[in-house]
Amino acid sequence: MPFGTVTLNDGNKIPAIAFGTGTALKGKDVTHVCQLAIDSGFSHIDTAQAYFTEETVGRAIRESGLPRSDLYITSKYQHGEIQMSVRASLYLLKLQYLDLYLIHHPSFVPDLEAGWKQFERIKDDGLAKSIGVSNFTLEQLQTVVKSARILPAVNQISFNPYNYAQNKPLLEYSAKHGIVTEAYSSLAPITRFPGGPVDAPVAAAAKRLGITPTQVILLWVKSKGVVIVTTSSSKGRLEEYMEVGDLPSLTDEEIAAIDAAGAKGPPSAIMTRGRKTPAVAGLAVGATLLFLVYMARLMACYHNKGVV
């Protein structure tokens, strides 16, 4: 396995790269793409209540024929009573436990301290080997840590060269408490902000090493001690990601050049954050419908006691 593992603050180990089933895969049958990921060398599959992919992730796990111990499965809480929701996720995945269970977003838990106590109970009951959070700011993470009996093992955040500078205090605080940072959307300089300041140092490093700009970005994420969460429905892309585990590291000068370029910000200051376009509104309606279906399934499995 080219990518190794990272030891969490609870003693468990997490693979240093994960295949994510969110983004463009939300609400889709991901059986085939999960199989592609597993065949490409991924052992860590990341799903979530909000992705509506848990059921088909579970199917891919069963069809892989691999022992449960060979796979690392993450899911995330979004809606409903926490204890019932984790059991519903396990039912859909057809698993007895999760390797990692996260609060998907702090806004989903109005009282962070009370919500975290429910997560501690999940670990105590053996429903998840490790527990953590996602999309938490420094202040929100501090709120949890100050009253936690069991520290979060992970904080999964959007992380790329363009937001590294603003996330440095969060990364430093997490490192102080042994909280591993997981990164999603790390390829944003390529997929969302092409033509920006980061392009030049990434291209230079790619030329020196004879690799792709995508691989340079992932090497940069590795250099920060951050676990990668990435996705694709292309086997070639998945293999490209996994090859990063065998590549030589970037030089300190290359890392510093990417840091400096990223601090200049993405190529456009025009952001649509907070504005609901018709397309975004349509996605919101679709997500609401999917959630209603999920809740119906959740309630059915709970009342039928069909959980593992």
Mean of per-residue pLDDT scores for the chain: 90
Residue 306, pLDDT > 90, answer no
Q: CA-to-CA distance for 98 and 62, rounded, in angstroms?
A: 15
> In which element (H, E) is residue 283 found?
helix 278-303
Identify whether 308 is part of a domain: no
**Does residue 16 contact residue 228 with C-beta atoms inside 8 Å?**
yes
Residue 3, pLDDT > 50, answer yes
**Does residue 104 contact residue 126 with C-beta atoms inside 8 Å?**
no
pLDDT value at residue 308: 29
pLDDT value at residue 279: 36
Q: How many domains does the chain have?
A: 1
Active site residue 302: no
Identify whether 297 is part of a domain: yes
pLDDT value at residue 302: 47
Q: Band the pLDDT of 268: cuts 50, 70, 90.
A: confident
Identify whether 102 is part of a domain: yes
Identify whether 72 is part of a domain: yes
Q: Band the pLDDT of 294: cuts 50, 70, 90.
A: low
Give residue 126's region: left, alpha or beta (phi > 0; psi -120 to 50). Answer: left
Identify whether 107 is part of a domain: yes
Q: In which domain, by residue range, is 33 found? A: 5-303
**Does residue 26 contact residue 51 with C-beta atoms inside 8 Å?**
yes
Identify whether 139 is part of a domain: yes
Identify whether 295 is part of a domain: yes
% of the chain at pLDDT higher than 70: 87
Residue 304, pLDDT > 70, answer no
Annotated binding site: 104
Mean pLDDT of 89-104: 98
Would the pTM count as exceeding 0.95?
no
> In which element (H, E) is residue 237 found?
helix 235-243
Mean pLDDT of 209-230: 98
Annotated binding site for substrate: 104
16-25, 76-85, 271-280: the lowest-pLDDT one:
271-280
pLDDT value at residue 267: 87
Half-sphere exposure of 92 (CA within 13 A, CB side): 27
Residue 274, pLDDT > 70, answer no
**Residue tagged active-site, from 51, 77, 101, 241:** 51
Instruction: Quickly count: other Cβ atoms within 10 Å of residue 126's Cβ.
Output: 9
More confident residue, 304 or 119: 119
More confident residue, 52 or 298: 52
pLDDT value at residue 23: 92
Q: CA-to-CA distance for 62 and 284, rounded, in angstroms?
A: 32
- Identify the CATH number of the domain in which residue 12 sits: 3.20.20.100
Secondary structure (3-state) at 181: strand
Mean pLDDT of 114-132: 98
Question: CA nearest 145: which of 124, 175, 122, 168?
Answer: 175
Q: What is the pLDDT of residues 190-200, one digit of tens each?
A: 999 999 999 99
Q: Would you give the end-to-end CA distance of the chain in angstroms?
A: 30
Q: Which residues contact 88 (CB under 8 A, 6 or more apart)?
A: 49, 80, 297, 298, 301, 302, 307
Identify whether 96 is part of a domain: yes
